[in-house]
Structure 1
């Protein structure tokens, strides 16, 4: 790919999209395009069509989505299904019609069955039922994966889907009500440390196992997909390694410097016992992660500390 190629990153202000922007710039790409949701409503087909026809990007990276936790998914199932379908379908369809050279679709490991064999291979898609708490989002993302596969199969176009494991890093969501487990823990331990090393209560037994990938590594996988023609339509993106939630908590506690007790509330649910991706396909293609979990947590905590004022302002403005 020519380094002057015009690349449109949908969702460039989010954690993943902003990391992709930084990674492409670091790789020498100089013609990146991004629009805020106020400037371009990706749910509006006419607006998306007009934008792509006008800009004529050679590459489109879809890092845009309506996202949220279990509560949001439960309360707004229609919006999570329909808005994500609208966003991705508008982008995929106009990319096909305008003969965009390459399309990279980003999703989530939640597309796989709730009780898939471990580690989870790409071919396990659609072999069993989904996790009920996020099935609306998952169904939308599965549709995007299959749409890209169909275009690739029928028209031989370079449309590829990347499905990351649990992501964390700079520009993550640290709101305790809506954030995922790693940033939530990081903030809890930080606030407990500030409060005289008070005890930290965490949900469950600490025994479930989870895989975590630094968002900057995820962004590097997108750059790899831009720079190469990949032979498959769907790739898992992760480390291929997991830790128990207890090990995660103890690592975060050490990084933060919290010296109080950890209390496990075993009356709260543990969730799925294990969720690990098989990342051998992308590794065989030539990409693998770089950032080990300890280093990633250290870098994320440093970013969190540097952005405390801004994060508080965001919380107050909501």
Structure 2
């Protein structure tokens, strides 16, 4: 393979990860025409099309998938080698791609990114907010964040937060207007802010404790959302009762903006974990994130 083709291989890999020429161009800081030219140069040199193009989509051909499966690890190794050299000189660089559910952002990611920006200004962290259980390897992510019970066994998992309860909350104004449920069975008479699961399309049943029993309680109300952050906003507005992770509303409860409803009905979640393939922790960019997360989030873990 000639040297011109070698120089274009990272661009081909970027198109495959982004799923299109325009998206890859935006990530690479290039024009779409330059990206298209680079891909065409590699295809002409190999004598086979790497991508099947339509007016609406771009997908790897069988030959393209096989080619990238072969050269992808080598490209990643070259990139990591360069990052390690710079890290040894005190500079952590590169692009760290994380797949994170929205609910985890304020709890475990924002405080880490705030400190990371000061310590490692040459490192870019790209966050994809995703409520589905994505395959981080297939999606080209370096790591992901999930609840402890949702992580595949072949992944390394590092705890970010302590376990925390999933609770029900509502505004004092809602209690004044509708009263407060005294038992789980009374939720059927209240306006509950429901969830629609993006991954399955099903309405989410709240996991609650009633005495010694754990129940999946189907709730109903005037609003159903896919974003827990918006469920919090609706609860603060007095719309109804929301089901949320306690750290997300801890400050609201302490300030009296929200009231914890039926505390004895709350179940405990295992907490949030950063997970990644074995061996990935050796990457300087991921190591830097882990080090800062350990320091910044330690007070919460020790509470």
TM-score (norm 1): 0.27
Structure ranking higher in strand proportion? 2
